[in-house]
Amino acid sequence: MPIQWFPGHMAKARREVEEKLKLVDFVMELVDARAPLSSQNPMLQQALQNKSKMIVLMKKDLADQRETTKWVDYFNERGTKAVAIDVNDKADIKHVIQNAKELGQEKMEKLKAKGIQPRPARAMIVGVPNVGKSTLINRLANKKIAKTGDRPGVTKQQLWIKVKKDFELLDTPGILWPKFEDELVGYRLAALGTIKDQLLSMQDITAFVITYMQQHYPDLLEERYQIAPDMEDMWEIFEIIGKQRGCLESGGNVNFDKVADVVIRDLRTGKLGRITLESVED
């Protein structure tokens, strides 16, 4: 597959996350609810050492509800607190805060037991590009950004956001490099817009999405584009969608790149329906 590893970028990303990790008590790892494992990064687990972590499955409003429930159970059963949210839902934001506070309290209890003066628990948000880090920070900040001075270990001054009186959040997220070791992971991430569109052919990504939908969401595919689940010829499928949606060149031929744009835009904006591209059972 024509994707490179960019080792220099990954090493830099890792160093930056490790520096910030020194400042916090626990981490909120954001993943995309539509591909939770694919949007995780194994580098984080190693860098975390003994720090605790909670997982926030983002964009649950775009994901298949049944799959999301299974994924939340999946992480919880493996001992990691997990919540699924729509960042625009206030109740969901409260739920995140409640879970984060519980994680912070555990840390504070440990400090107290050692005779150390309790202080607000500190956390940071990490995640791959486009997963929703900045948006969630803004929602949690609720415009109450508190400047609490330098912390050791970083040259740049860090700002802490006071979410609640006993919970502070680093104002800048840690960006994790997406993982590319598996072709399927690459297709899922590209379809969701995590990795740059130019890295993989848009037509290939679209073919992947259509095939996945034929297997898992045949009704949604038929509803939007009138594509029968058993239609195998991808060329014909592109032709049908192209004619329907006016993706034509001047001579009247279907332009496959335009078809790919339409399908991927429909997927990302939820117009195709609520779709999860990675199942617990996969």
CA torsion 133→138→140→143, rounded to 10°? 160
Q: With respect to ligand GTP, which residue has the nearer C-beta, 61 or 204? A: 61
Q: With respect to ligand GTP, which residue has the nearer C-beta, 85 or 221? A: 85
Q: How far is the CB of 175 from ligand GTP (least distance, A)?
A: 5
Q: What pairing do the DSSP bridges indicate for beta strands 121-127 and 145-146?
A: unpaired
Q: How far is the CB of 131 from ligand GTP (least distance, A)?
A: 4
Binding-site residue numbers for GTP are 130-135, 174
Q: How far is the CB of 59 from ligand GTP (least distance, A)?
A: 4
Continuous segment of H or E residues that includes residue 264: helix 256-268
CA torsion 227→229→233→236, rounded to 10°? -10
Q: How far is the CB of 197 from ligand GTP (least distance, A)?
A: 13
CA distance 254 to 203: 13
Q: With respect to ligand GTP, which residue has the nearer C-beta, 104 or 173? A: 173
Q: With respect to ligand GTP, which residue has the nearer C-beta, 24 or 131? A: 131
* N-to-C CA span, the chain: 21
Q: With respect to ligand GTP, which residue has the nearer C-beta, 85 or 254? A: 85
Residues that bind ligand GTP (CB under 6 A): 58-59, 61-62, 85-87, 127, 129-135, 175
Q: How far is the CB of 183 from ligand GTP (least distance, A)?
A: 23
Binding-site residue numbers are 130-135, 174
The residue length of the chain stands at 282
Residue 153 backbone zone (phi > 0: left; psi -120 to 50: alpha; other: beta) = left
Take residue 270 and report the two structure tokens written for it.
Answer: 């939820």
Position with the least CB separation from ligand GTP? 132
